[in-house]
Chain A
Amino acid sequence: GDSVTQMEGPVTLSEEAFLTINCTYTATGYPSLFWYVQYPGEGLQLLLKATKADDKGSNKGFEATYRKETTSFHLEKGSVQVSDSAVYFCAQAGSARQLTFGSGTQLTVLP
């Protein structure tokens, strides 16, 4: 069945460091891919998305590119801030358009 595997955390970085959170998926067909962010005590917010191969989603300095050949959608940011500390979820939506989530990656950015 459909699944999402993402890098286990927690990840701790210093402010202005480069961030990569790996995400790979298995799916039949060509799903839409998403990154959601969850701040402490809150629900999920859509961070970015890509709906077809080679699309790049971007928002707030974060980027992820839909790579069909490697079935990946890695999240990157060139310079993280303390305010980026949160849990990040990779997700896919297949033909049924239900979301399948990865396990989440806790990011802590230290000043």
Chain B
Amino acid sequence: DIQMTQSPSTLSASVGDRVTITCRASQSISSWLAWYQQKPGKAPKVLIYKASSLESGVPSRFSGSGSGTEFTLTISSLQPDDFATYYCQQYNTHSYGFGQGTKLEIK
């Protein structure tokens, strides 16, 4: 079973900051990775799929990169609406596991 590990678990940042969240897979997943944003009491929303493809309607300040076992989600200039929890999810194998999440907090 492929394990997904995100870092950091919590990230404090300010509006306007550039932030990066990392997701590592326990074995290669090629580019089969998605990133989600979840706000309290709401369902997750997909931001990025296939490691670097921006889902329709998602602001261009979000970007993804990586392949194999290491991936990053970058927010180029944090907006107030971006403070949330972020999850990665692999879909290289039929086990569709998620990372444990990264909570992005206001500094």
Asked if A and B bind, the verdict is no
B-side interface residues toward A, CB under 8 Å?
Answer: none
